[in-house]
C-alpha cells in the first residue's frame, strides 16, 4: 500500500527544494518506509543543513522511520531562536569555527584565514578526503557541491550559496555567527599556520630595504616562513574588513 507523509521545510532549507515544495507542507509518498534522513536528502536537502526535526510535534533524529500520516517539520540551524530545550539531531551544535573547504573555494579560504579562522584547504584534495577531514577533525565542510554533503560521514557541513567570494565570506560569517570571533591578521593566508611575532634583526636580511626602514613590527609564519608586516597589503585588508563589518 502506498503511504504518505506531509513535510514542511523552514527558512533557508527551502533553497534546496523544488519550487512547488517551498514555503508550505507538501505530500511525500512512499511504499517502503525509509529513514527520515533518506527522505530529506531525496528532496534535495543535505542532512548537514538540518538541526531539528519534529514529527507530529515531537523531536526525532535522522534514524526515525516514516509512518503513514506523519506530519514532519524540518528546521535549519537556528541563529536567534532558542531551541535548546528541544532535542537537536546531533549532540553538539553545528557552530564551530573550524573549516575545511573544497577545491573551488580558494578565494573564500584566503578571506577566512585573513580573519583568523582555521581553514584547511589544498587545491588538489579529493572529495573523499575532504569528507574524512571534516569528520575526523570536526571541521565544518564548506562546499558548493551538495553531493559531497550527502555523504554519511559528514555531519558538519555547509553548502555555500553565493558565487562571488566576498559574498561567500559574508554568507559564512552570518551563517555561523562569526563576527564576534574575528581575529584579523593572526593566521597565514597561504598555509593556515598561526603567525608568531619576530624581531626585526632576525629577518632583516629577507626584507626589502624600504620595509626594513619604515616598519618595526613583524610576524613570521612557522609553516611557510613568510614574513608579515603592516604594509600596504595590510591596509587594504583592513579597509576590506571595516567595510564588511559595517554591513553586518
Is 117:189 a contact under the CB 8 Å cutoff?
no
Q: Which is nearer to Zn ion, 34 or 106 (CB)?
A: 106
The DSSP element (H or E) to which 241 belongs, if any, is helix 232-247
Angle, in degrees to the nearest 10, between helices 106-114 and 165-175? 50
What gap in Å lies between CA 103 and CA 143, rounded to an integer? Answer: 8
Q: Does 115 bind Zn ion (CB under 5 A)?
A: no
Q: Which is nearer to Zn ion, 122 or 144 (CB)?
A: 122
Q: Which is nearer to Zn ion, 83 or 183 (CB)?
A: 183
**Binding segment (CB under 5 A) for Zn ion, from list 8-16, 55-63, 124-132, 219-227:** 219-227
Q: Does 44 bind Zn ion (CB under 5 A)?
A: no
Is 100:139 a contact under the CB 8 Å cutoff?
yes
Q: Does 221 bind Zn ion (CB under 5 A)?
A: yes
* Cell numbers given for 101: 573547504
What gap in Å lies between CA 152 and CA 117, rounded to an integer? Answer: 25
Smallest distance, Å, CB 182 to Zn ion?
19
Q: What is the DSSP letter of 187?
A: B
Q: Which of residues 162-191 bind Zn ion (CB under 5 A)?
A: 188, 190-191
Smallest distance, Å, CB 119 to Zn ion?
13
Q: Where are the alpha helices (DSSP H) in 126-181?
A: 127-136, 146-149, 165-175
Q: Does 223 bind Zn ion (CB under 5 A)?
A: yes
Q: Does 43 bind Zn ion (CB under 5 A)?
A: no
Smallest distance, Å, CB 100 to Zn ion?
17
Task: Give the binding site for Zn ion (CB under 5 A).
Answer: 188, 190-191, 193, 221, 223-224
Amino acid at each position: 500500500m502506498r503511504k504518505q507523509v506531509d513535510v514542511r521545510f523552514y527558512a533557508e532549507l527551502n533553497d534546496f527544494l523544488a519550487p512547488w515544495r517551498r514555503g508550505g507542507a507538501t505530500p511525500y509518498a512512499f511504499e517502503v518506509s525509509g529513514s527520515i534522513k533518506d527522505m530529506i536528502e531525496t528532496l534535495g536537502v543535505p542532512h548537514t543543513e538540518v538541526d531539528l526535526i519534529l514529527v507530529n510535534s515531537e523531536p526525532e533524529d535522522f534514524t526515525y522511520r516514516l509512518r503513514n500520516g506523519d506530519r514532519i517539520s524540518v528546521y535549519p540551524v537556528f541563529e536567534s531562536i532558542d531551541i535548546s530545550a528541544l532535542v537537536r539531531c546531533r549532540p553538539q551544535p553545528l557552530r564551530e569555527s573550524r573549516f575545511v573547504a573544497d577545491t573551488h573555494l580558494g578565494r573564500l579560504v584566503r578571506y577566512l584565514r585573513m580573519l583568523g579562522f582555521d581553514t584547511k584547504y589544498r587545491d588538489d584534495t579529493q572529495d573523499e578526503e575532504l569528507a574524512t577531514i571534516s569528520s575526523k577533525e570536526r571541521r565544518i565542510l564548506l562546499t558548493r557541491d551538495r553531493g559531497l554533503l550527502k555523504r554519511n560521514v559528514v555531519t558538519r557541513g555547509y553548502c555555500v550559496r553565493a558565487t562571488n567570494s566576498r559574498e561567500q565570506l559574508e554568507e559564512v560569517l552570518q551563517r555561523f555567527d562569526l563576527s564576534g570571533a574575528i581575529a584579523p591578521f593572526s593566521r597565514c593566508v597561504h598555509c593556515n599556520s598561526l603567525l608568531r611575532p619576530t624581531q626585526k634583526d632576525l629577518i632583516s636580511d629577507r626584507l626589502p630595504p624600504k620595509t626594513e626602514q619604515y616598519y618595526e613590527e613583524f610576524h613570521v609564519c612557522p609553516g611557510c616562513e613568510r614574513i608579515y608586516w603592516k604594509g600596504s597589503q595590510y591596509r587594504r585588508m583592513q579597509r576590506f574588513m571595516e567595510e564588511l563589518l559595517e554591513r553586518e
